[in-house]
Structure formats: C-alpha cells, structure tokens
Amino acid sequence: MAPPALRDTLCIEWGACPPGCSDCVEACARARGAPRITALHLAEVSFHGALACGQCGEPACRDACPTGALVREESGVVRLDQERCVGCGACAVACAWGGIALETATGRASKCDTCDGRPACAAACPTGALRWVETSALARRFGHPDPFTQGVNLCPGCAAELGFRLAFRAIGPDAVVFAAPGCACMLACGLGTAATTRLPSVMSLMTNVPSLMTGVARQLRRSGARTRAVAFVGDGTTADVGFQPLSGAAERGEPIVYICYDNEGYMNTGVQRSSTTLQGARTMTTPVGPGQSGKAHAGKTQAPKDVPVLMAMHGAAYVATASVSHPEDFAAKLERALAAEDGLAYIHLYAPCHVGWQAPMDAAVEIARMAVLTRVFPLWEARRGRFRMTHPIAHPRPLGDFAGLMGRLRHLDEDGLRALGRTVEERYSRVEALCAALPWDEPGGTHGR
C-alpha cells in the first residue's frame, strides 16, 4: 500500500497565540469578506489559540453534506461550494473539530480554503503560531530512500538520529559519510560487525574529521566523481576537540559539507558540558547545588560558543543554522550546501538530547521548536560572509516556555532566567546586526515564517 500523498497545510500551534490577539481573524475577514478562522481566548485557563479547518483526509463534513457542496480536491483542500449549500448545518454537526460553521449573515456554511495556498492569516500572525508549511515540497526535498536501517541502538526519540536520517534523505546516495566518536557514529558506522547504513562511511578521530574529508574529497574530484564528502558529527568534535582542522578547511576553501548536530554536550560519555552548552545548564561537569568546598554551583556559567558565526567569519562558501523542528528550512539549506562546490559548507543543526537535557522521550522536537520561538536558537544562513535570517522571530515567546520543558534548566530562578535572556538576546541581536550590515546578496524570500 502506497503511503498517502503529502499536502501543503496550514499549521496552527495549539495554544501559542498572544493573549487577546485577533490579527488572523481580521486578515481573514479582509481576504475573504468574513472570517473563516476563530480566535480562542480562554483567560480563566490561560489558553490562547486559533481554530480553522484542518482539511481532513477523510472529511466527515463532506460525507454528511446532502447536496455534495463539499468536495476534497487533489490539492488536499476541502472546498465548499456555497451555491450548492442549503444551510442545513449537517457539516457543522459532523465536524468534531469546529472547523466549519454556519454564517449568521448568509445562513450558509463557511470554512477555510487556505486562500488557495497563500493564507492571509499566516502572513498576519505576529508570532509564527500560524504558518504555511509546504509539505509537498518537503516530500520532494526528502525524496531519497532512507539509507539507514531501522532499530538502531540509539535512544528512542533521539533528535540526532532524526537529523541524520533527514539529511541523507535529502542528500541522496552519492555521498561518503564521515563520523567521529559520539552518539551518531553508531548510525553511520554501525556497531561491531553490524552495519547500519548502505552508504560508504568513514570513522574518523575527533581531532581530524575535516583533514580526512579533505583527502577523500580531493581524490574523488581527481577521479572525476561527483560524490560528496559529508560529515555528521557532534558539537564536542566540532566546537572543542576538532575545531582547528575545521577552521583550516574553511580557510582553504575545501569543498566538503560539514554538518554539526548540536546536543550541547558529550552525551555518549555521561553528559559532560561542551563549549556549546547553554549558559546555566546542569551537566555532570557543571552541577547545580552545594559543592564539597561549600561553594554553591549554578550550572554552566559561561555563554555558549557561537560556532556558526565563527564559521561564517571565515568567509566560508555557505554557513547555516538549522533545527530538527523545522525540516523545510533544513531541506532548503541542505540544497544550498550541496550547491556550494567552491568551498566549505557548514550547517549547525540543533538536536536536543532528551536524556542529557532531562526531558521526556518525545520532547526533543518540541524543545527544538521552542528554542527557535524564544530566540535561543536563531535560524539564519550566510554565503561568503553575507547574512540573512530564514525564520525571523519578531515577537519571541517567554524564555520560561523553553526552560520549563527540561530538567537541566529547571533550577533557574528569575535572576538566572534574566541572565540567560541577556545572552540569548545578545546572540540574536548579533545575527540581526550582521544581516543588516552584511546583507545576503541574492534577492528572494525566507524559507519559512
């Protein structure tokens, strides 16, 4: 049985709207004459969200309509023909989600039709709680077969595994994958004699990944092959142990693709801090609480090293940040990285470790999404030192919404959150300033909201 076709969709983050906001309703009314989206503000339970038709795959409203006024189109949109609607209300009764209703003025049904792929509500949303996701394009970008086996020996819910699989479904089979000691090397190189990938793979040391890639990439070019050398390694290798050869490869303009999955620590050796670990975070080497000397420990006291900005300052052919929570943005950046054959391409992928961060098994993607929405992890790209934001956050969510999702930051009081907030805003403002001072030199919009 073939998997269902993926459709573009209006994504509404449930409960993420600002209190009292009705920008989406007003925009919909301007675009369609009457609002087809509802703002839900339940102050007594501190809930603020929006409700619109979800364009169901098997729409109950269509099945209940006695006149055939509702039809599901090939695009996935459930279209309402108001000329055929008799206002019986059967569709509204059948819909369990409240996505269709009778208009008081006309006495006929009304529902969202996504503005034919250009939803006015998403464009008007000030926080990104509503966004248009081009899922069909996403399916094309991740169209290659998954080169890795199922049932690998990584933790259930591992964001690094998700990022690894997404990356090579976009890159395809014409690649040599490089790994170093860390969690993801078990996916790249297997365990013992058990292989876990159909790709040719190379297990490197933490100290020389780019050096080894350079030699292999040069030989591939010499032989006329189009095969790319692609690394997928962690932040310990990238930011700490192996930064020198990475810096050298960027300066020399080696045409390799280097992806750092950042889980902010040495997770496979017992959750020790790395230089990208977030300020204030609890790890085994940055504990929280009284120490043996009587001195109180408050987690990591230093701000994280901004490795992507450092790489961009090398004038690398392409540098970007990405997140497992925003695959459409990641896919677009992988395409640009592969196209940058005149120098090093570097992608810094945010991949929360639910084990090391003391979070539920299924929380990694939500943590990553909240990191973007709170500006903890801004999404941007740079080409030869020219910058642009790919997912600007004009109205960030409270930092506590991010910190509360994990145990490693739960000890932070108001002063601790304010200190972390200053670091977060400083890093975000730095990228904004770079985008303004050294703007991206190609016309075009952003990859996502």
CATH class of 143-437: alpha beta
Q: How large is the average pLDDT for residues 240-269? A: 98
Residue 445 in this model has a pLDDT that exceeds 50: no
pLDDT at 387: 98
- How does pLDDT run across 8-22, given as a tens digit for each residue? 889 998 788 989 999
Length of the chain: 449
User: How far is the C-alpha of 198 from the C-alpha of 4, rounded, in Å?
Assistant: 26
Asked whether 209 and 178 are in contact (CB, 8 A), the reply is yes
User: How far is the C-alpha of 295 from the C-alpha of 5, rounded, in Å?
Assistant: 58
Residue 442 in this model has a pLDDT that exceeds 80: no
Residue 92 in this model has a pLDDT that exceeds 50: yes
First-last CA distance in the chain? 34
User: How far is the C-alpha of 330 from the C-alpha of 309, rounded, in Å?
Assistant: 17
Q: How large is the average pLDDT for residues 434-443? A: 88
**What 3-state class would DSSP assign to 24?**
helix
CATH class of 8-135: alpha beta
The CATH 3.30.70.20 portion of the chain extends over: 8-135
- How does pLDDT run across 356-372, given as a tens digit for each residue? 999 999 999 999 999 99
Mean model confidence pLDDT for the chain? 93
Nearest Cα neighbor of 26 from 133, 127, 125, 104 is: 125
Residue 449 in this model has a pLDDT that exceeds 50: no
Residue 42 in this model has a pLDDT that exceeds 80: yes
The pTM of the full predicted model, rounded to 2 decimals, is 0.83
Q: What confidence category does residue 443 fall into, taking pLDDT thresholds of 50, 70 and 90?
A: very low
- How does pLDDT run across 137-179, given as a tens digit for each residue? 777 889 899 999 988 889 999 999 999 999 999 999 999 999 9
Q: Which segments of 132-279 does DSSP mark as H helices, in order?
A: 135-141, 159-171, 185-189, 209-222, 235, 243-252
CA angle 159, 210, 390 (to 5 degrees): 50
Q: What confidence category does residue 293 fall into, taking pLDDT thresholds of 50, 70 and 90?
A: low
Residue 124, token pair as written in the block: 């008007």
Host H or E run for residue 91: helix 90-94
**What 3-state class would DSSP assign to 41?**
strand
Residue 76, token pair as written in the block: 């996935």
Nearest Cα neighbor of 24 from 42, 12, 9, 8 is: 12
User: How far is the C-alpha of 128 from the C-alpha of 392, rounded, in Å?
Assistant: 9
pLDDT at 177: 97
pLDDT at 447: 43
User: How far is the C-alpha of 208 from the C-alpha of 247, rounded, in Å?
Assistant: 11
The number of beta carbons lying within 10 Å of the beta carbon of residue 67 is 12
User: How far is the C-alpha of 89 from the C-alpha of 102, rounded, in Å?
Assistant: 7
Residue 269 in this model has a pLDDT that exceeds 70: yes
The CATH 3.40.50.970 portion of the chain extends over: 143-437
pLDDT at 5: 66
